Amino acid sequence: MYRGKFKRCSRCRPDCEVPLDNLRPNPWNRKGFDSGALAELAASIKANGVIEALNVRPLGGSGEYEICSGNRRWLAARQAGLETVPCRIQNMDDDNVQAMNLVANIQREEISGLDKAMMVKAFMDANNLSQSQTAERLGKSEAWLAGLISFLRLPAAVQESARSKNLRYYPMQAIASLPNDAYKVQIAKELNDGTIQPEQVEKRVNELRNGYKASQAKRNKRDEKSMEVSSSAVEPTEELSDSGSLQAQEEANVHTEAKAEPKTPTFSSTLGS
């Protein structure tokens, strides 16, 4: 039974205590957990008990239950040596169970932005939802959701680095905002070789973006100068060409007029006839 030091709120008050062996994870429960964080939670549960009851649903009439939310608490309770955990029994369909797990996971700071993106995309595909419908279902803005899904379009090297470094939403969003893939891969390389740490990603992205803007401004200025030089070189040629064409036309006209002028018969030719 619960012997913790903290009083549960009404939202967390359990319907009953359920043996750990009678609980089963659901297909949408997160599978991987940081071992250090799980050990810390187990130590807390050992000292204070399970503060928030697990949400479960019955599996037939066998006395077994499927965990709707609270898989991490279940694993930590087992690690802490508990035999039972407090549970709230609810009748929920698969769609609601999946949504409950997703909402819980996207609120967790320890889950990387890329993993959240994969969870959301799987939820969208499984339920044939648009981004707008998914955002409404999760209580998030469409802009937030669009940013999250954009992580899945990052180069493979960036995704691999983001997962290994457990990058959160905002650093990932900063990387995705870079103007080209070369800069994104450069960030991944710097993360992998330790040049920068995850908490320095946003600062480094700003440096690369500012450098890109400066190089673009220089390139634009250089192009403008090149166009001015080309324009000044072409203009006199055009004037000469126009004047030459005019002179040639005048000469052609004079020649044509000379050809067209009728001959005046001479006195000798008249006598000959």
Asked whether 112 and 163 are in contact (CB, 8 A), the reply is yes
List phi, psi (to 5°) of 38.
Answer: -65, -40
The answer for 70, left when phi > 0, alpha when psi is -120 to 50, beta otherwise, is left
Cβ neighbourhood burial of 251 (10 Å; 0-12, 13-18, 19+): exposed
The domain in which residue 185 lies consists of 154-230
Q: Select the more confidently predicted residue: 268 or 135.
A: 135
Give the residue among 67, 57, 125 at the shortest CA–CA distance from 92: 57
Nearest C-alpha neighbor of 53 from the set 91, 95, 16, 107: 16
Q: Which whole number is the average pLDDT over 258-268?
A: 47
* Residue 177 counted as domain residue: yes
Residue 85's nearest CA partner among 7, 18, 179 is: 18
Q: Average pLDDT, whole number, for the chain?
A: 80
Output the pLDDT for position 257: 52
Query: Do 37 and 125 sit in the same domain of this protein?
Result: no
Distance, in Å, from the CA atom of 186 to the CA atom of 175, rounded to the nearest integer, reads 10
The number of distinct structural domains making up the chain is: 3
Check whether residue 126 and residue 47 sit in a common domain: no
Please say whether the beta carbons of 78 and 114 come within 8 A.
no
Q: What confidence score (pLDDT) does residue 105 get?
A: 86
The closest alpha carbon to 169, from 226, 218, 215, 120, belongs to: 120
Beta strand 65-69 pairing with 54-58: antiparallel
Q: Grade residue 246 by pLDDT with cuts at 50, 70 and 90.
A: very low
Whether 133 has a pLDDT exceeding 50, the answer reads yes
Q: Which amino acid belongs to residue 261?
A: E
DSSP 52: S
Lowest mean pLDDT among 43-47, 183-187, 206-210, 235-239: 235-239
pLDDT digits (tens, 9 = 90+) for 154-164: 999 999 998 88
Mean pLDDT of 88-100: 89
Is 149 found in the same domain as 159?
no
Q: What is the dihedral of CA 111, 143, 151, 133, to 10 degrees?
A: 80
CATH value at residue 44: 3.90.1530.10
The answer to whether position 174 is within a domain reads yes
DSSP code of 163?
A: H
Quick one: pLDDT at residue 9?
39
Rg, C-alpha atoms of the chain = 39
- Classify residue 54 as exposed, middle or buried by CB count within 10 Å of its CB (0-12, 13-18, 19+): buried
| Band of pLDDT at residue 128, cut at 50, 70 and 90 | very high
Q: Is residue 182 part of a domain?
A: yes
Based on the fold, state whether residues 179 and 196 are members of the same structural domain: yes
221 and 188 part of one domain: yes
Same domain, 32 and 68: yes
**Domain identity same for 174 and 194:** yes
Assess if residue 166 is contained within a domain.
yes
